[in-house]
Amino acid sequence: MAFKLDAKIPEGPIQDKWEQHKFKSKLVNPANKRKYSVIVVGTGLAGGSAAASLAELGYDVKSFCIQDSPRRAHSIAAQGGINAAKNYPNDGDSVWRLFYDTVKGGDYRAREANVYRLAQVANNIIDQCVAQGVPFARDYGGYLANRSFGGAQVSRTFYAKGQTGQQLLLGAYQSMMRQVSKGKVSLYTRKEILDIVIVNGKARGIIARDLVTGDVERHVADAVILASGGYGNVYYLSTNAMASNVGAAWKAYKKGAGFANPCYTQIHPTCIPVSGDHQSKLTLMSESLRNDGRVWVPKNKEDKRHPNDIPAEERDYYLERIYPSFGNLVPRDVASRNAKNQCDAGKGVGETGLAVYLDFGDAIKREGRDAIAAKYGNLFDMYQRITDESPYEQPMRIYPAVHYTMGGLWVDYNLMSTIPGLHVLGEANFSDHGANRLGASALMQGLADGYFVIPYTLGHYFGSNELESIDTSHEEFEKCEKEATDRINKFLSINGSRTADDFHRSLGQIMWDNVGMSRNKAGLEKAISEIQDLRQQFWKDLKIPGENAQVNAELEKAGRVADFLELGELMARDALERNESCGGHFREESQTEENEAKRDDENYCHAAVWEFKGDNTTPERHREELSFENVPLTQRSYK
């Protein structure tokens, strides 16, 4: 069932594509919309905004989330802000510049037409959110404030303190709850997706497990939307929430949806380092800190003195040394890789040796403690709460951590996967960030997809497809439910000796060591074989207490780890096949003489799209060729 990759990019100049496409798209008349039902998986920025907008149009929406309330999706933890090309600061921004910066920031591995549309609708997002009552920061005149972020030379980021994700999410959640009150959205909380049901080639439903009762349920609809987030937790430690998982997307892949660029992961340079084996997750410290903090390690790796006792001439401010023009403000991938290099060379600091200093001493001397506190006070407090050290008194210790995944299910211009009727939004899809995402762009994409793209393209799908009338007694539902139940019973029957977390930690270590910030052929091949072994171990030696018919967190974790054990191998395989460096994907074999990432546009200017071919069978790699007609291909340099 080889699939055809038709991106369905509209004809015409890039500025007109979306307008023309909307005009040419089929419509569903208002009276008929209420006859269509849609399942939306996930209630983050993408899922929440889609559920609200589709219900407003009249569709019958079923919204699923894993938490106890839709308001808790992990979009809530985004700190910094959301980009838009409003040009309120009068500093030369435009839709074209936002488009250009995003394509370049993604290291020329995103689809131009999608990125342009993203930049076009970004301004509508800000308008919509303000109308909902999102309390963005404002200046004394009462107008909206902006700040600057990495990868851009204009101030285009809107923010609500360090809690922008929270405020945008609550805006979407509230809009969705309004539709719940009108009976247009039905909420299904504490549910985990176990399968996607395909009937006659079209996505028509899901199998879900109720996390309180253990019941395995069937849900039917006319279309399915996955807005289930990224897969960073494959590394065990990441800045993702504990329950973030790849389950729904992975089941879709195994049902025939192409998985694009799984190796593109973003490793964020400024996170609080691991403190010990008990570590369950990592916490980000906003990128904005690098505006005033100086990154350094001791010149002498034997130097174990307290950082305050090491004089300036015995410190190596390595980013300033290697990148004199960008200094501490190099992009995320460059900063992360350099921190790793220093630690690999034995110069890492702290008890574990896996950290570098981010020092505010000079900034405090220059501007005063109060000025620094006004900028970063809440971050310094959070750092102190976790580490018990004050960044006012001594340098922060930071280390890179997995933060975001640019890869995801392949979608066409309509955000539809290779399975008709299965649409994918937000971090779960692959389309807009290429090989590296710029700061403040994730919130923009999630909301663009949910508020302003899917309401049009879903109507087009319904308007141009005949859907047969089915219910959950259809044999395909029966079959999928049985498979899901069998898998649960299998987990419970293994009765081995290792916990799901234990396996997850082992997988995370393999991924971090071999499919992390720096990758090479030997390491990737090793990772593939180690993951295969670990997967076998897992199915032989997993230990889960209790039963299905109750809250069983260990059973939930087992299902997620089982998926990660398959995804991890695909990520390594994708990284192995992509023998170039681009954005967050650094292949040691492909670097410039100065050890910087070197793209290979000749051979790799495409999205790699993987097709599932059966368990323990090598998947097939397809390509979507990427053409850059509006932003010329150039090599990034930050020297």
Partner 1 sequence: MSKTIKVKLKIWRQKNRSESGHFEDYQLDTVSTDMSFLEMLDTLNEKLVIDNKEPVAFDHDCREGICGMCSLMINGQAHGPEKETTTCQLHMRSFKDGDTIIIEPWRSKAFPVVKDLMTDRSAFDRVIEAGGYISVNTGNAQDANTLPISKENADLAMDAATCIGCGACVASCPNASAMLFTAAKVSQLSLLPQGQVEADERAQNMVAAMDSEGFGNCSNHAECEASCPKGINLSHIARMNRDFLSSKIRK
Distance of CA 98 to the CA centre of its chain: 20
Q: Residues 378 to 417: which contact partner 1 by CB under 8 A?
A: 382, 385-388
* Per-residue exposure over 621-631, b if at least 16 CB sit within 10 Å of its own CB, e if not: ebebebeeebb
Q: Residues 221 to 250: which contact partner 1 by CB under 8 A?
A: 239, 241-243
Contacts of residue 543, Cβ cutoff 8 Å, sequence gap at least 6: 494, 495, 496, 497, 498, 499
Contacts of residue 479, Cβ cutoff 8 Å, sequence gap at least 6: none
Q: Residues 61 to 90: which contact partner 1 by CB under 8 A?
A: 67-74, 76-77, 86, 88
Which of these ranges, 131-139, 402-410, 422-430, 615-623, lies near partner 1 under the rule CB under 8 A?
131-139
Per CB under 8 A, does 469 bind partner 1? Answer: no
Question: Which residue's CB is nearer to partner 1, number 180 or number 329?
Answer: 180
Size, binding site for partner 1 by CB under 8 A: 85
Instruction: Single out the catalytic residue among 204, 332, 578, 599.
Output: 332
Per CB under 8 A, does 304 bind partner 1? Answer: no
Q: Residues 364 to 383: which contact partner 1 by CB under 8 A?
A: 382
Q: Residues 502 to 561: which contact partner 1 by CB under 8 A?
A: 502, 543-546, 550-551, 553-554
Distance CA 145, CA 375 (A): 15
Q: Residues 163 to 182: which contact partner 1 by CB under 8 A?
A: 163, 166-167, 170, 173-175, 177-178, 180-181
Per CB under 8 A, does 19 bind partner 1? Answer: no
Q: Least distance to partner 1 from the beta carbon of 394, Å?
A: 13
Binding partner 1 (rule: CB under 8 A), the pick from 6, 16, 19, 139 is 139
Per CB under 8 A, does 5 bind partner 1? Answer: no
Per CB under 8 A, does 280 bind partner 1? Answer: yes
Which of these ranges, 10-18, 123-131, 391-399, 612-620, lies near partner 1 under the rule CB under 8 A?
123-131
Contact 211, 429 (CB under 8 A): no
- DSSP letter string, 397-413: EEEEEEEEE--EE---T
Q: Least distance to partner 1 from the beta carbon of 493, Å?
A: 15
Per CB under 8 A, does 283 bind partner 1? Answer: yes
Q: Least distance to partner 1 from the beta carbon of 385, Å?
A: 5
Which of these ranges, 13-21, 121-129, 418-426, 460-468, lies near partner 1 under the rule CB under 8 A?
121-129
Residue recorded with tokens 């392949």 = 410
Contacts of residue 156, Cβ cutoff 8 Å, sequence gap at least 6: 83, 84, 85, 86, 87, 89, 93, 98, 146, 148, 149
Question: Which residue's CB is nearer to partner 1, number 19 or number 351?
Answer: 351
Question: Reduced to 3 states, what is the DSSP secondary structure of residue 540?
Answer: helix
Per CB under 8 A, does 30 bind partner 1? Answer: no
Contact 226, 237 (CB under 8 A): no
Question: Which residue's CB is nearer to partner 1, number 139 or number 620?
Answer: 139
Q: Residues 596 to 635: which contact partner 1 by CB under 8 A?
A: none
* Widest pairwise Cα distance in the chain: 75
Q: Residues 305 to 334: which contact partner 1 by CB under 8 A?
A: none
Distance CA 247, CA 464 (A): 30
Whether 332 is catalytic? yes
- DSSP letter string, 26-56: ----HHHHTT-EEEEE--SHHHHHHHHHHHH
Question: The tokens of 71 are what?
Answer: 């308001």
Distance CA 556, CA 541 (A): 17
Question: Which residue's CB is nearer to partner 1, number 386 or number 522?
Answer: 386
Residue 108 φ/ψ region, left for φ over 0, alpha for ψ in the -120 to 50 degree band, beta for the rest: left
User: Annotated catalytic sites, by residue?
Assistant: 332
